[in-house]
Structure 1
Amino acid sequence: MSADLTWLLIKNNNSFLVKRNGVQFSSEAGNLLNKNSFKYSGLANKKTVDITAAPSGRGVVVATKKAKVSAYKPAKTITKVTLTKGIRKSARSVAGLTRNGYRADLRQAALARVSALLNSQKPVKAAPKKTGKGIRAAKKN
């Protein structure tokens, strides 16, 4: 089935569609910005890029969908790679993947997703205890 026909069938009604306050979002795999549009759809497009947090809590998993694979083997359409080397190396890998002819239009969205996921996995630094200044602070000690 063509990508355009698939999009016409699923754009208004599917199980991943979230409609709130006049805005439509989509929670499907392969949708980098979670927008309900043909460009970002992981269901309608033949080639997709999906970036999720690694199950171990360290790194990201980059999954790509191959365009031409037998319809009898849907599990073999998705290739997953775990990137754990840090923000710069992970971003470079994702940029290279999207730049080399595989959904170059999604490069900015993919880099933003990688950066957000890896920054959310950083440990939270404890705030230093504030010391009071002046006469009253000296009296409390």
Structure 2
Amino acid sequence: MTSSHLQWLITRKTSSFVVRKRNVKQPFTTEPLHLTNRHCFKYNTLVHRNVIGVEPAKDKNGFVVVMKSKKKVFKPKASMVRMQIKSGPRHTLAKLRNIVKSGYRKDCRQAVLKKASAIIRSEKVRVPKKGKPTKKAE
């Protein structure tokens, strides 16, 4: 197994997930499980062995935490472990924080929590405010 730095040096210019735009210095990426969508070594999901990602649940209730298993490194589809967390916003973020603290990429903890809270916020149903009633003209 080669080091992640060597893999990054080989794939950073030629990755098919990179999206470059005019007048933008930092290119973007469309990798699955990517936390910030910025093309950089820290958040790259292809070269690191420990990867954690957050994606919205299909039933729009909570979110799904996806982690790359260390056991099945050479089988990409089987190496992904998915678990849905859906027990209220504060409780789910606390669970996610404990998962990240227990050994999955402590340097990415802030980005994981930020993405999970954005997903929770997007699922929240907003009730439109009622406008003031208009007075009838006599």
TM-score after normalising by structure 2: 0.89
Counterpart residue number, 1:4: 5
Q: Is the 8 A contact 1:59 1:84 kept in 2?
A: yes
Matched position secondary structure for 2:77: helix
Q: 1:65 aligns with which of 40, 65, 68?
A: 68
- Give every structure 1 segment of 4 or more consecutive aligned residues whose post-TM-superposition deviation is greater than 6 Å: none
Letter in 2 for 1:13: T
Q: Could you tell me how far 1:74 is from its partner in structure 2?
A: 2.7
Which residues in structure 2 correspond to 1:25-44 (within 5 Å)? 25-44=28-47
1:22 maps to 2:25:
yes
Matched position secondary structure for 2:58: coil
What CA distance in whole angstroms lies between the structure 2 residues aligned with 1:70 and 1:12?
24
Which residues in structure 2 correspond to 1:67-106 (within 5 Å)? 67-71=70-74, 73-106=75-108
Q: Is the 8 A contact 1:16 1:27 kept in 2?
A: yes
Matched position secondary structure for 2:20: strand
What CA distance in whole angstroms lies between the structure 2 residues aligned with 1:42 and 1:106?
12
State the Cα RMSD in Å: 1.6
Unaligned segments of structure 2, at least 5 residues: none
What CA distance in whole angstroms lies between the structure 1 residues aligned with 2:128 and 2:31?
36
Alpha carbons of structure 1 residues 49 and 70: separation in structure 2 relative to 1, 3 Å? closer
Letter in 2 for 1:102: Y
Unaligned segments of structure 1, at least 5 residues: none
Q: Is the 8 A contact 1:30 1:43 kept in 2?
A: no
Matched position secondary structure for 1:74: coil
What CA distance in whole angstroms lies between the structure 1 residues aligned with 2:107 and 2:76?
25
